[in-house]
Amino acid sequence: MVQSVFFYIFAILSVTGALIVVSHKNPVTSAISLVLTLFCSAVLFVLLQAHFVAAIQVLVYAGAIIVLFLFTVMFLNIREDALHFDAVNVPRKLTILFMLLSVVGYFSYTASKKVFANTVLALNDNTFGTVEGIGKSLFTDFLLPFELTSILILAAIIGVVVLAKKGDF
């Protein structure tokens, strides 16, 4: 009963924080709301008895990634007038976004059949949520997405530096 109450409280807080992230104009406020969302997700991991995943959620995402994001926002020094929404060609942009999401969703669905089969086996395993279980899963089943994520983060950092130095040349 107590776990259900905690689940609903932190699930509502997590969804509220996520809505603030995507709807607020100020990027710093969005980043702080993202910290709230990530912290609430960590509490939900604790309720699932995945304590290591919760600790990594707080340390890596709510700590390091948010600091990197805030550094990027402050490094770019975005002015208020630069945050103005341009409503030109919105239907065309939404159509392209919908098509892109449909293609990604289709390929994600077809690729997830193997992952869900492995997840069912992992849930029956005693190593679920432990360092051993996460390490085994991360470096066997999810090695390619793990490496691609690191390349994506590196490309984002290079892009920020290029954008920030563009006016200096």
Total residue count of the chain as it appears in this document = 169
Contact 34, 65 (CB under 8 A): no
User: Cα 109 to the chain's mean position, in Å?
Assistant: 19
Any idea where the domains of the chain sit in the sequence? Answer: 1-85
Q: How close are the terminal C-alpha atoms of the chain, in Å?
A: 62
Given CATH 1.20.120.1200, say whether it is the number of domain 1-85: yes
- Please tell me the pTM assigned to this model: 0.57
Rounded (10°) CA dihedral 158, 163, 101, 18: 90
The DSSP-derived string for 36-61 is HHHHHHHHHHHHTT-HHHHHHIIIII
Question: What pLDDT is attached to residue 133?
Answer: 79
Question: What pLDDT is attached to residue 11?
Answer: 93
Q: Profile the chain (169 residues) by mean pLDDT over runs of 10 residues.
A: 89 92 83 89 90 86 78 69 65 84 78 62 64 81 84 83 68
Contact 169, 154 (CB under 8 A): no
